[in-house]
Amino acid sequence: MHHIDVRLEKDVYDVNNGIADENARHLKAHGIRAFDLLGAIGSGKTALIERLVPLLKAKGLRAGAIAGDVYGDDDFQRIVAQGIPAYNTNTGKECHLDAHLVEHAIEHLPLDTIDILFIENVGNMVCPTDFRLGAEKRIVIVSSTEGDDVVNKHPMMFRDCTIGVINKVDLAPFVGANLARMESDIHRYNPTMPVFLTNMKTGENVAPLLEAILA
């Protein structure tokens, strides 16, 4: 028989959520709007940031980012190449960012030079779900190359996020992915979630996605 300490799990989430609330207050005090980007490895989180930065600049908004990865700085290097302030957070063995890691990252950012902060979570469709970070909205990104059953396999991710993105729509015919099924599955788990079908290579539908993020 397995013994599960439910109280301990609740304590962990309560502590995390308390720090997340403080992160949100801290960022708001500096006039910063923060957005959490979630999705599997290769779904297009970093590519989305690369697409959004110049669109934000055209609006007179200054972007910043926190890059979360288990190891390495590949995504971080792509982000700083956009000319924005960023901080690289390696989790080691953990498959998600938590509010404390984000709190630490925020300390290393020039907050008075940032209007919009993207928090790119570790590439995972399960672990980040339960850990709020202090972001205003959570955007979940999946790609056609993950298979059109990816949404149905990760319902909690879509129930807990604000905006859905189906990326790499151009590759759907080559991998046999049914985009309509993916969108239908998202709305089955979150009927009111706006969904955007994107191609980060061309920038297709990224501008209306940004409007939804900023709304």
DSSP one-letter string for 11-48: HHHHHHHHHHHHHHHHHHHTT-EEEEEEE-TTSSHHHH
Element (H, E) at 86: strand 86-90
Please give the pLDDT value at position 11.
83
Strand partners, 88: 67
Q: Give residue 194's pLDDT band: very low, low, confident or very high (50, 70, 90).
A: very high
| Range in 1-5, 106-110, 127-131, 135-139 with the lowest mean pLDDT | 1-5
Please give the pLDDT value at position 7.
58
Measured on CA atoms in the order 44, 67, 126, 206, is the torsion positive or negative? negative
A 10 A CB-CB count for 153 gives: 12
The whole-angstrom separation of Cα 186 and Cα 178 is 13
Residue 1 scores a pLDDT above 90: no
Mean pLDDT on 180-205: 98
Please give the pLDDT value at position 9.
58
Tens digits of residue pLDDT in 53-105: 999 999 999 999 999 999 999 999 999 999 999 999 999 888 999 999 999 99
The whole-angstrom separation of Cα 161 and Cα 159 is 6
pTM > 0.85: yes or no: yes
Residue 2 scores a pLDDT above 70: no
Residue 3 scores a pLDDT above 80: no
Which residues lie below 8 Å from residue 173, measured CB to CB, with a gap of 6+? none
- For residue 69 the two structure tokens come to 């990865």
Mean pLDDT on 169-192: 98
A 10 A CB-CB count for 10 gives: 10
Which ranges in the chain belong to alpha helices (H)? 6-29, 45-58, 74-80, 99-106, 150-153, 155-159, 172-175, 179-189, 206-214
What percent of the chain shows pLDDT beyond 70?
Answer: 95
Selection from 8, 34, 7 nearest residue 20 by Cα: 34
Strand partners, 60: none
Please give the pLDDT value at position 12.
83
Please give the pLDDT value at position 17.
94
